[in-house]
Structure 1
Amino acid sequence: MGCDGGTIPKRHELVKGPKKVEKVDKDAELVAQWNYCTLSQEILRRPIVACELGRLYNKDAVIEFLLDKSAEKALGKAASHIKSIKNVTELKLSDNPAWEGDKGNTKGDKHDDLQRARFICPVVGLEMNGRHRFCFLRGCGCVFSERALKEIKTEVCHTCGTAFQDDDVIVLNGTKEDVEELQTRMEERRLRARLEKKTKKPKGVECASKAGATEECPGPSKVKPGRAEESGSDPKEKPASAPKSAATNGGAPGKAGKAAPGAVKRSIADSEESEAYKSLFTTHSSAKRSKEESAHWVTHTSYCF
């Protein structure tokens, strides 16, 4: 059987097989990841930030996304894990001295070297073009190649000297396995921070709780004057206080029962008070003198000669 013009069709022209999987150009993918913002798809320009999953963004694009979280944005899923500006870290990148940018190819008659990158590793000198694995420190934001961190093992940053741990090292534009591991670490870190925030109460709440506790606690009970043993007074002061109360009551035996039980009765003469104070009471020796023995009081004034 033939077609128009006497042509004979072949089998692959009549029978449709499975569709071929479209392969992504690796060079184009690397250029898109390392030279363009993941959120706005614009060329990366300083200040450049990175999230906890290792993706690169322009800082102004992240701020606009946080201010306007509309559902119409198709690229909002790429930054759905960014809840605040604290979830991103501003990167400290080292410029590549061999980078010319678009100055050398203004006419379009020059080959673009895709191996050439804008930034390099400050320790080893590798270019950050996606051919080598790069990472940054979450604490200070300095960017290094993974080779530099493996060859020169240290616990402080090579550039600024900030101490870091293994949990602070985040791979930039890593593989699928790297992203899953970083996401697990991010969720654990946020859960830990949430629990610490709950345990730490603000100062205002602590003051309010302390004030409520003081109002609920009963105050010190008033000590009754007749019960000296129930009060927390010193037992050495009990004998001295007993004679004073007895003396002020006129020494009446009926009122002595109001004193604390067990208190020792002593006369005012045996107390340690001054002689002027003792002379006020009838038990003093001066009160027992006769009128003849007592002296006459004479008042001398300046007008008497």
Structure 2
Amino acid sequence: MGNDGGSIPTRRELVKNAARNPTHSQVRSTQAQTREYRWSTCPLSKKPLSAPIVSDSAGILYNKDSIIEWLLHGVGAFGDGEEVLDGRVKSLKDVVEVRFEQLEEDTKADGESARRSKWVCSVSRKELGPGGKAVYVVPCGHAFDQSAVREIGGKEGGCLVCSTPYEDTDIIPINPDEPAEIERLKERVRTLAEKGLTHALKKLSDKKAKKRKADDASTKSSKKAKEKESSIRNPAAAALTNKVMEDEKLKSEQRKLLMSDNIQTLFSKKEDEHKPGKNRDFMSRGYSLPAHMQR
């Protein structure tokens, strides 16, 4: 207990401090980084956004070529595509091409002049990006600053650029983060599905509409079943646990398929366990008691 060159740890060193909630500035910094990423990067391909750009019913921006590649190759193209899209994109009718007005301007950095391009509102000339709120109109896809659409309107005369008619529900916020906006977009999708319409207001055939309803119903039932089976309240932990269990189940089935006949004999089948004369213990299988001990 001393003079051995060691030290005695204190309680402060042995007990971990409780995790502290992030400060307001940390939360704002994280949100700002998330908005910047969503306005500059395609979540499917993880590449910079470049025209042509499309948006799904949730107002999220993608590169159009990434959506086409997903529709052609599925998870073979993007392993996390199902998680990113969450079933919102099943055909090109489920996306709308967003038409941004691009403005070139001269900038100076480190004493050198350069050209910078940015997206601007066609009406207010405000820059569209993570620093403000922007919307686009379905079905034409023209993008505006949200305040310009609210103040000037345009519903009666249609789109402020091309005069295409639209409804109030067809004003889609770009990269929304408010729960009320997200819920409104989900309700819009449900309403359109009942009418057999997609996010782009394109008509689905009766056969495809029925198939989508069946797929949505099966997806909801499977999600409910998984939530009921899992007793873990944390969604991330529950998803990770389910994935690990599925992987272990798959590995177990593969091991059984690779077993030789000699190894398989060591394991008794369930239907053989209740048969008389069957020895359940493989360590003593083949061993018989002497005659004078059998009574």
TM-score by length of structure 1 reads: 0.54
The answer on 1:172 being equivalent to 2:178 is no
Instruction: Report if aligned partners of 1:94, 1:121 keep a CA contact under 8 Å in 2.
Output: yes
Which whole-Å CA distance do the structure 1 matches of 2:51 and 2:204 have between them? 34
The alpha-carbon deviation at position 180 of structure 1 amounts to: 2.1
The alpha-carbon deviation at position 74 of structure 1 amounts to: 1.7
AA in 1 matched with 2:70: F
Is the alpha carbon distance of 1:4 and 1:163 closer, same or farther for their aligned partners in structure 2, counting shifts above 3 Å?
Answer: farther
Is the alpha carbon distance of 1:127 and 1:11 closer, same or farther for their aligned partners in structure 2, counting shifts above 3 Å?
Answer: farther
The alpha-carbon deviation at position 126 of structure 1 amounts to: 1.6
Instruction: Report if aligned partners of 1:2, 1:9 keep a CA contact under 8 Å in 2.
Output: no
Deviations 1:60-112 (A, max 9, x none): 00000011123771232222210100110111101133376xxx66xxx68xx
Is the alpha carbon distance of 1:20 and 1:154 closer, same or farther for their aligned partners in structure 2, counting shifts above 3 Å?
Answer: same
The alpha-carbon deviation at position 20 of structure 1 amounts to: 3.7
AA in 2 matched with 1:138: V
Of 78, 81, 99, the match for 2:84: 78
The alpha-carbon deviation at position 192 of structure 1 amounts to: 1.1
Instruction: Report if aligned partners of 2:74, 2:81 keep a CA contact under 8 Å in 1.
Output: no
1:113 matched residue in structure 2: none
Is the alpha carbon distance of 1:63 and 1:145 closer, same or farther for their aligned partners in structure 2, counting shifts above 3 Å?
Answer: same
AA in 1 matched with 2:80: A
Q: CA RMSD in A?
A: 3.3
Instruction: Report if aligned partners of 2:53, 2:64 keep a CA contact under 8 Å in 1.
Output: yes
Which whole-Å CA distance do the structure 1 matches of 2:38 and 2:49 have between them? 10
| Other structure's SS at 2:149 match | helix
1:235 matched residue in structure 2: none
1:79-98 → structure 2 map (5 Å cutoff): 79=85, 80-98=87-105
Instruction: Report if aligned partners of 2:75, 2:81 keep a CA contact under 8 Å in 1.
Output: no
1:212 matched residue in structure 2: none
Which whole-Å CA distance do the structure 1 matches of 2:54 and 2:4 have between them? 62
Determine which structure has more spread, i.e. the larger CA radius of gyration. Answer: 1
Identity %: 30
Q: Per residue, is there more helix in 1 or in 2?
A: 2
| Other structure's SS at 1:119 match | strand
Unpaired segments ≥5 residues, structure 2: 198-202, 208-295
1:42 matched residue in structure 2: 47
1:26-65 → structure 2 map (5 Å cutoff): 26-65=31-70
Instruction: Report if aligned partners of 1:55, 1:173 keep a CA contact under 8 Å in 2.
Output: yes
TM-score by length of structure 2 reads: 0.56
1:244-255 → structure 2 map (5 Å cutoff): none
Q: Per residue, is there more strand in 1 or in 2?
A: 2
